[in-house]
Amino acid sequence: MVLSAAGVALSANAAPVSEADAKAMQNSLVTLDTHLDTPANFARAGWDIMDRHRIEDRSQVDYPRMVEGGLKGGFFAIYTPQGPRTEAGDRNARDAALIRAVEIREMVAKHGDVFALALKADDAVAINAEGKRFVFMSIENSYPVEADLSLMATFQKLGVRLIGPAHFKDNDLADSATDTPEWHGLSPKGKLFVAEANRLGMMLDASHSSDDVLDQMMALSKTPIILSHSGCKAVFDHPRNVDDGRLKALAAEGGVIQINTYSSYLIASPKNPDRDAAMAALEKQAGEGPMTPDKENALQAAFKAINAKYPVPRATFEDFMNHLNHALQVVGVGHVGIGADMDGGGGVVGLEDVSGYWKITQRLMEEGYNRDDLAKIWGGNVLRVMRQVESYKASLVSDH
């Protein structure tokens, strides 16, 4: 039996890879994560991305740990909890998302010696060559634009290059994977949302959206679809995960699935009605009124208290690798990547924050993947889709 550096059994043709060799490989690549919820920390009093924080402080991503893990950049999410689908609710969501977008740009401006805003695929390569970390912007849950799709252009001008319609709950654009179907896919406005994203050169993200939404987005979009932080239904049957048939369809259209580290999407958790009720109440509270720093801190503290009162089994690094390896086996290295959902509930035992990202490379090297494979998995696939999206947008301009 051949064991990995961590003592895990590998296939017969595999060989252990040292931490030093894995880190050297990691640092030679343009690595990115497609779903970092770190902007939620930007308005926290006393929190600075240049400080090395602790997981206990509800923080998994900062500059020192990005360097330690060999993470060169990623998509920093503008996340807005789904709240009331009313005029006031839409206005609050719009304002919160605009503020968050500005906070991301302010972080980059403040630390321009080590971070730079990326607006197109080639920027990631150029910024990495300068020795800086690149920051793409994304929108998780398009509640902020559901009342007025012209706001998509505003966010595009601010730098957003990846956008997904829904989150935990249905909204005016689409059904969520974790709510009762309302539209059975995209709403009529949601179909316009897809076309507008194509026109503006924004990649479409189907993570958190229902299977019907994914099917319809693949049918309607002129460019490939990204699943920015998802898992494999064949490994664990959860509504947030994607079945093999849809994975193959996604890949056939040129799309990519980015595997997450959110424990309850990787492994089964026992049913706990009290915990579910507490979480539902917290989600409702999150969607009521504007998201101020104080409110965000209170919600985080409440979430931590719920986890302490109603603990659930935590997935491990091996569980994460099971999903990653399954996706690689089903659709190949050209359609799989990493979107761990750090600072948004992600993190597993053995991979608690971004400082350990080199461990993924170590394991993949031990399993026989070469440098070209790793370059695709760690960012090349997403950047390829991004270039396709950019080319489609350019073709619209040239047609007129």
Q: Distance (Å, rounded) from C-alpha 133 to C-alpha 123?
A: 11
E strand or H helix at 8: none
Neighbours of 115 (CB within 10 A): 23
Q: Is the pLDDT of residue 3 over 70?
A: no
Q: Distance (Å, rounded) from C-alpha 202 to C-alpha 121?
A: 12
Q: CA nearest 323: which of 214, 213, 242, 250?
A: 242
| Mean pLDDT within 351-368 | 98
Which residue in this structure is represented by tokens 């993924």? 360
| Mean pLDDT within 261-275 | 89
- Top-confidence residue, 289 or 37: 37
CA atoms lying within 13 Å on the CB side of residue 348: 23
Q: How many residues does the chain have?
A: 400
Per-domain residue ranges of the chain: 12-269+313-398
pLDDT (tens digit per residue) in 209-221:
999 999 999 999 9
Which residue in this structure is represented by tokens 């968050």? 100
E strand or H helix at 194: helix 188-200
**Local confidence band at 307 (pLDDT 50, 70, 90 cut-offs):** confident
Q: Is the pLDDT of residue 72 over 80?
A: yes
**Local confidence band at 226 (pLDDT 50, 70, 90 cut-offs):** very high
Q: CA nearest 230: which of 318, 131, 164?
A: 164
| Mean pLDDT within 297-326 | 88
Single-letter residue type at 284: K
**Local confidence band at 47 (pLDDT 50, 70, 90 cut-offs):** very high
Q: Is 74 left (phi over 0), alpha (psi -120 to 50) or beta?
A: left
SS (H, E, C) 300-355: HHHHHHHHHHCCCCCCEHHHHHHHHHHHHHHHCHHHEEECCCECCCCCEECECCHH
**Local confidence band at 309 (pLDDT 50, 70, 90 cut-offs):** confident
Burial class (CB in 10 A: 0-12, 13-18, 19+), 294: exposed
| Mean pLDDT within 239-249 | 98
Phi first, then psi: what are they for 351, rounded to 5°?
A: -150, 75
User: Residue 336 contacts by C-beta under 8 Å, 6 or more apart in sequence?
Assistant: 256, 257, 258, 259, 324, 327, 328, 377, 381
Q: Which fold has domain 12-269+313-398?
A: TIM Barrel (3.20.20)
State what percent of residues in the chain have pLDDT above 70: 95
Q: Is the pLDDT of residue 280 over 90?
A: no
Q: CA nearest 282: which of 262, 309, 257, 260?
A: 309
- Top-confidence residue, 139 or 289: 139
Single-letter residue type at 5: A
Q: Distance (Å, rounded) from C-alpha 337 to C-alpha 196?
A: 26
Return the SS3 of 76: strand
Q: Distance (Å, rounded) from C-alpha 27 to C-alpha 172?
A: 42
State the pLDDT at residue 291. Answer: 66
